[in-house]
Amino acid sequence: MQKKKTIGLVVAQPPIYTETFLMSKIQNLIDDGFEVVIFSNLNRANNTQAPLYSSYTELSIFKLMYNIPYIVFKIIQNFKAISKYKKYINTQYSSTVSKYKNIYSNLHILFNPVDHLHFEFSVLAVDKEYVAKSMGAKMTVSFRGYDVSISILKNKGLFNTVWQNIDGVHTISNDLVKRALKHGMNPNTPVAKITPAINLSNFKPANVVWGNVLHITTTGRVSWKKGFQYVFAALAILKKQDINFQYHIIGGFEEPEKEEFLFLVQHHQLQNDITFHDKMNREQLNEILDQTHIYIQYSVQEGFCNAAIEAQAKGLLTIVSDAGGLPENVENDKSGWVVPKRNSVALANKIVEVYMMSNEKKKEFSENAMIHVSRNFDIRKQQDLFREFFNQAS
């Protein structure tokens, strides 16, 4: 019998139940015949069927003492990989202390050899660039959003060693690849674009009734990345045009930015027109989406955006910005509308245009949106693509 391929998934922390994407990804890989292990920096409860190995840096002194015989045994057992690893990082670290610190922080991975080491975020691969190579495994990373869009700007050259060592990339959008290439990724690196996807059976078409009040909704935490400052300015323009609307924002605040956005609401005199909701469960969210006429995702930075897929899946009239992966998410003038980012006037004009559309036209867009999602963002298709990704890369 052929030996099962082992995939090591490096995550920031073990997935919790609400992280459906990662939970189902792990389960699907197991179902597809892979052996999956999870490597995490933090030691938390493991809700998956895959074994979890967390970093020894998490151990208290007492636990460490207790574990010393085991660690020594494992070092002897994996001596070849560890000494290889030490050789690889020799040039990376000038001080001996930081070199050994790095080895210690990666022991949990080096002790458990895999065929394929996959980092769920690129930033997780930093300081672990040679781990896969030392144990003869393939190394791949996922591009999601923040790491390739922002971390890379804060620390130029952060991913240089990662770029040199990866055997493949999973990206959720072409935009992220473009950014990575701009910052030094080897153009010959194999890239697989696998977008986020949804379970279509969870999304029933919204039964929207149009009345005197235009109901607009956005889901997502209130932060600068989501472009709310531009949405509020656009709404101020609508208000001047005497359009009666109610805007619902679902997801709560990014705490440091709360002051800014509450102030902007007052600045644009929208206190009676905007409602901030905390995070909601699926049922409560559907209740609001079922009354939504226009869904807006006017981000300035976005990986791909599940919320925009979900809105289209419910047949909502969806307006997004052209930031990040959003133009790959919404098919402009077909499944929704893509408006230039950071342009409140253009957004306001588009909202008015959609609002004034005939009912037939609205219906046409609504149906297109649902078809678009079922064709392109079905979770079953995503599962096939992931299987292919791990098979090819391994």
Residue selected from 262, 280, 357, 385 as contacting other proteins according to rule CB under 8 A: 262
Smallest separation (angstroms) from other proteins to the CB of 84? 37
| Listed ranges 133-141, 255-263, 307-315, 358-366: which one lies at the site for other proteins (CB under 8 A) | 255-263
Distance CA 301, CA 320 (A): 12
Smallest separation (angstroms) from other proteins to the CB of 223? 9
Distance CA 80, CA 312 (A): 52
Size of site (CB under 8 A) for other proteins: 25
Smallest separation (angstroms) from other proteins to the CB of 8? 30
Query: Tokens at residue 69, please?
Result: 């015989």
- 276 near other proteins, judged by CB under 8 A: no
- 154 near other proteins, judged by CB under 8 A: yes
- 106 near other proteins, judged by CB under 8 A: no
**Are the C-beta atoms of residues 329 and 304 closer than 8 Å to each other?**
yes
**From the centroid of its chain, how far is CA 134?**
29
346, burial (CB in 10 Å: exposed 0-12, middle 13-18, buried 19+): middle
Q: Contacts with other proteins in 322-341 (CB under 8 A)?
A: 323
Kindly tell me which of 232 and 389 has the beta carbon lying closer to other proteins: 232
Kindly tell me which of 218 and 292 has the beta carbon lying closer to other proteins: 218
Distance CA 180, CA 171 (A): 10
Q: Is 390 left (phi over 0), alpha (psi -120 to 50) or beta?
A: alpha
Residue selected from 99, 239, 342, 387 as contacting other proteins according to rule CB under 8 A: 342
Residue selected from 80, 267, 282, 334 as contacting other proteins according to rule CB under 8 A: 267
DSSP string, 256-303: GGHHHHHHHHHHTT-TTTEEEE----HHHHHHHHTT-SEEEE--SS-S
Distance CA 202, CA 289 (A): 13
- 16 near other proteins, judged by CB under 8 A: no
- 344 near other proteins, judged by CB under 8 A: yes
Q: Contacts with other proteins in 203-242 (CB under 8 A)?
A: 224, 229, 232-233, 236
Q: In what order do the strands lie in the sheet with 6-11?
A: 52-54, 35-40, 6-11, 116-119, 138-143, 168-171, 191-193
- Interacting residue ranges for other proteins, rule: CB under 8 A: 149-150, 153-154, 224, 229, 232-233, 236, 257-260, 262-264, 266-268, 300-301, 323, 342, 344-345
